[in-house]
Amino acid sequence: MEFSVWYLVLAAAFGLFMAWGIGANDVANAMATSVGARALTLKRAIIVAAIFEFAGAFLAGGQVTATIRKGIIDASSVAGNPDVLVWGMLAALLAAGTWLLIASKRGWPVSTTHSIVGAIVGFAIVGIGISSVQWGKVGQIAISWVISPVLSGVVAFLLFMSVQRLILDTNDPLKNARRYVPFYIFLVGFIMALVTLLKGLSHVGLEFTTGQNYVIAIFAGLVTMGIGIIGIRRVKEVENENEEFRFTSVERIFGILMIFTACGMAFAHGSNDVANAVGPVAAVVSIVASGEVGQQSALPTWVLLLGALGIVIGLSTFGWRVIKTVGQKITELTPSRGFAAELATATTVVLASGTGIPISTTHTLVGAVLGVGMARGIGALNLRVVANIFLSWVVTLPAGGILAVLFFYLFKGIFID
């Protein structure tokens, strides 16, 4: 290929830009509930997210990447002209990254999955033909955008109801919090470890039997629970505070739990959403390496590393804008409410990541927050903010597609002799 070096350079640059946009916008979904519930300061949330987003993207990001790379369009339709697919993937990355920059600057929590899928479909329609789009696969992804908030909402509702029944509505909430919260912490460690082991580590050369995976996951959950118990024992009941607000000390315990769920949520988000940045990059790398479309190739480690670094940089620079929008304006959050929303979101996202469906973390989190809110009554939700978020999701799909079309024709004009 005549422009191979340029293709690789642009793919790396635009992939980094797209990953930056994910960090700046979508990582709010991992940290906003923790910041809104005051379980973590903004600075600490950024540090926690940087570590666990990187780990999730690097260790468990390969499964969904395959869907973004090969599943949305029929690559065989451009088998004779692989340059067209390269231009399209470059256009999709630049288009999605540009839209995320605009949204992040304004504090809009949009879906990065919408952005990149809409961009890929947009370029495919004008660059290859409408028949090249794998509408069945796109339909599956679209259905997951509906199912994921419903599923996470149900899980969050049930989790918060269990918290109310086991802890908040009892005669001695603090005593019961000390008793039951460690089991919730175990659940966080177990779920994160199991999904990582089952689906995430094959591309780094680590594979275990099913039995070994469950044993390791249980051990990870127990270690996590042990760390949590140490933190819980340090929470002292403050009598004066509890006369004014009965659950102050209980919420402190849930604040410790939210640190664990924040880590899990960040890991889950990194594992699922890194694909939005590195999937198209992987497609370009594969075409340049083989000179053909559809050639099977392993996902290069440096591509995942690129996406992970970009996410961390975006989070550190613009992430605070969307964190404040999501964490403080949808509903009033306490650590116990935020915990239910975060664990439900993390569980839904890691399961989707393991099955290869690139769901929207934004949809999943909002669904979970709505589920927690519904457990307290619909009046607890700021429906105007929720409506604005829904509107931003609707705008994102066509925005990504239109920008991709413009950039596709730009690259086509530049690289055609």
Q: Residue 295: pLDDT band by 50, 70, 90 thresholds?
A: very low
Residue 384, number of CB atoms within 10 A of its CB: 9
- When mean pLDDT is compared across 157-166, 255-264, 288-297, the lowest value belongs to 288-297
| C-alpha–C-alpha distance, residues 333 and 34, integer Å | 9
Q: Does residue 273 contact residue 68 with C-beta atoms inside 8 Å? A: no
Percent with pLDDT over 70 in the chain: 80
| C-alpha–C-alpha distance, residues 203 and 224, integer Å | 25
Average pLDDT, the chain: 78
pLDDT tens figures, 156-170: 888 888 988 898 888
pLDDT tens figures, 299-342: 677 877 888 788 888 888 887 777 777 766 677 777 888 888 88
Tokens standing for residue 223: 């270690």
pLDDT tens figures, 365-401: 878 888 887 777 676 677 777 787 778 777 888 898 9
Q: Does residue 367 contact residue 149 with C-beta atoms inside 8 Å? A: yes
- Domain layout of the chain by residue ranges: 4-415
What one-character DSSP code corresponds to residue 292?
S
Question: What number is the average pLDDT over the span 272-279?
Answer: 71
Q: What is residue 99's predicted lDDT score, i.e. its pLDDT? A: 93
The answer on pLDDT for 57 being more than 80 is no
